[in-house]
Structure 1
Amino acid sequence: MQAIWKGAVSFGLVHVPVKMYPATEDRDIPLRMLHREYKEPIQYRRTCPKCEQEVPWSDIVKGYEYEKGHFVTFEQEELEQLAAETSHEIRILNFVDMTEIDPIYYQRTFYLSPEETGEHAYRLLVRALEATRKIGVAQVTIRQKSSLAAVRVVDGVLSLVTMFYAEEFRDRSQIPNLPEEAKVDRRELDMAKMLIDQLTGNFEPEKYRDEYKERLTKAIEDKIEGRDIGTVPEVNTPNVLDLMDALQASLKLLKPLEETGKGDKAYKRRRAKNQKNRTGA
């Protein structure tokens, strides 16, 4: 795997030389846009509206429009110089408890591996974060983009998760049709909590499947073989208008599954834990 970044994690005066690797990969099935008649891929050209000519990459600069039609431009070297000061450092600003960061802040995860000269410091930081159950809040510049980041341990490996800055979140007042604060029917609330309890379990990521990707893969194979892909059967969702009826029907639907799994030790532990959380014991 090709490293996409090389630098060091720093906290205080401690520097841990690391290389960065993507922790995830895009598994989407690539679909290209074609001309329906000729089945040829559509091309996009970089053209200038003034000279109406295609512009090579060597003649392209980046610019900021400070007034309509007026730009200040930056050469690539200028942008690199602006980023140079922090481009090779993951600077940890402080440490926080693992539960303090809401997942809404997280963007993309990367793995960090140690350089040969930094293996001892790397292992030390991993052990220290595991022992204290802390996450390092850091700043990092990757490909000329500055990001807030979280440095944490995943399965014994240092990872970095890029994060949004607080200023990047929209104010909730911009969201239309938010319900006003209102009292909730006690019986409905109790049944909703029961339904959540019945559907509560451990997070097992391997059991979740990309069903759309599976259907698309099958459809591609059928089309290659000249078979009709047919239509995806519609899901028959019961038309339940009353909220209480919907809650009762949902609990009734889950009851057979509960009866089937009651002998499972993991199920019993989960039920006891959920009951403890509800009672506050």
Structure 2
Amino acid sequence: MHTVWKGAISFGLVHVPVKMHSATEDKDIHFRQLHKDCGMPISYEKKCKHCNKEISPDDIVKGFEYDKDKYVIVKEEELLAIQPSSARVIKILDFVDLTDIDPIYFEKPYYLSPDMAGAGAYSLLLEAIKQTGKIGIAKISIRSKSNLAAIRVVDNCLCLETMHFPDEIRAISQVPNVPAVTEVNDKELQMAITLVDQLSEKFEASKYTDEYRVALTELIEHKIAGESIDIVNAPTAARSNVIDLMAALQASIDATKPQPPSPTKRKRTTKKSSEKIS
């Protein structure tokens, strides 16, 4: 597994050398843009509109647009000078309950593995987090960006999840058409609760798949094999703008009710039971 960051976790005076690995992988299917006439990939040139010429990587600098078409140039050495001294340290600031954190803060997960002779300290932190039920809130710099992070245990591995800072979360007040006060019909609410109860299951990640990616993979495989593809447009169900909530809720409840065993199955069970008794 590729190492994306190398440093140490510090909590108090304890130092835990670790390596960081991405816990997720991009499964999206990416397309290249091709020239329709010859099928060759289209290249993208870095070109200066003012000088009307191609620019090499050595001639490119970083600039921040502080006003329309006005930029301030920031040099690499200036960025390095302001980088925090703890660039190679995951500093745990607090330990908190996971339930205290809204999922909106979480961003991207990484696995942490012990580095060098750090297995003992790694195991110590892992067990302390596991037995207290807490998670560590830390700060880490990844690719010159300061990140808030949560450190928790997944199975028998430390997992670091980068988080958004509070000022990166947009206020709910900016969301259009959100009702200030929720008003619902009591009967409809009870039916909605019944529906939620009937659809409630223990979370099993393995039961959820990306059906579109599977279908797209099959489509590409058929085309690689030179097979012809029949395009069938999926029928679109006509939808009414008028929603009868009660009728929709009742139909949903009926559709999700556990089905009683078939009469044949019941008869077979009864026979088995009587044989057992005799």
TM-score normalized with structure 1 length? 0.86
Question: CA, structure 1 residues 234+13, in 2 after alignment: closer, same or farther (shift >3 Å)?
Answer: farther
Instruction: Indicate the residue corresponding to 2:269 in structure 1.
Output: none
Alignment of 1:109-124 (within 5 A): 109-124=109-124
Deviations 1:234-278 (A, max 9, x none): 4658758200110000001111xx1369xxxxxxxxxxxxxxxxx
Residue 246 (structure 2) pairs with residue 244 (structure 1): yes
Instruction: Indicate the residue corresponding to 2:215 in structure 1.
Output: 215
Instruction: Indicate the residue corresponding to 2:231 in structure 1.
Output: 230
Deviation at 1:86, TM superposition (A): 2.3
Alignment of 1:45-60 (within 5 A): 45-60=45-60
Instruction: Indicate the residue corresponding to 2:255 in structure 1.
Output: 253
Instruction: Indicate the residue corresponding to 2:130 in structure 1.
Output: 130
Query: Following the alignment from structure 1 to structure 2, what is the Cα–Cα distance between the partners of residues 26 and 237?
Result: 35
Deviations 1:101-155 (A, max 9, x none): 1111111000000113211110000000011111111110001011110011111
Question: CA, structure 1 residues 98+218, in 2 after alignment: closer, same or farther (shift >3 Å)?
Answer: same
Confirm or deny: 8 A CA contact 1:222 1:229 kept in the other structure.
no
Query: Following the alignment from structure 2 to structure 1, what is the Cα–Cα distance between the partners of residues 24 and 186?
Result: 43
Deviation at 1:78, TM superposition (A): 2.6
State the AA in 2 paired with 1:66. Answer: Y
Gaps of 5+ in 1: 262-281
Instruction: Indicate the residue corresponding to 1:171 in structure 2.
Output: 171
Partner of 2:162, secondary structure, is strand
Deviation at 1:161, TM superposition (A): 0.5
Query: Following the alignment from structure 1 to structure 2, what is the Cα–Cα distance between the partners of residues 6 and 100?
Result: 29
Residue 12 (structure 2) pairs with residue 12 (structure 1): yes
Query: Following the alignment from structure 1 to structure 2, what is the Cα–Cα distance between the partners of residues 30 and 202?
Result: 33
Give the superposed CA RMSD.
Answer: 1.9
Alignment of 1:31-110 (within 5 A): 31-110=31-110
Confirm or deny: 8 A CA contact 1:152 1:159 kept in the other structure.
yes
Q: Percent identity?
A: 48
Deviations 1:8-62 (A, max 9, x none): 1111111111000001111111211222333222221111112111111111111
Number of residue pairs the alignment of both structures matches: 259
Deviations 1:53-84 (A, max 9, x none): 11111111111223333322222233233225
Confirm or deny: 8 A CA contact 1:219 1:229 kept in the other structure.
no
Partner of 1:116, secondary structure, is coil
Instruction: Indicate the residue corresponding to 2:273 in structure 1.
Output: none
Question: CA, structure 1 residues 2+121, in 2 after alignment: closer, same or farther (shift >3 Å)?
Answer: same
Instruction: Indicate the residue corresponding to 2:148 in structure 1.
Output: 148
Deviations 1:175-228 (A, max 9, x none): 112224142111111110110001111111111111001111121123232312
Question: CA, structure 1 residues 229+11, in 2 after alignment: closer, same or farther (shift >3 Å)?
Answer: farther
Partner of 1:161, secondary structure, is strand
Deviation at 1:229, TM superposition (A): 3.9
Q: Which moved more, 1:37-46 or 1:98-107?
A: 37-46
Deviations 1:156-187 (A, max 9, x none): 10011000011011122221122241421111
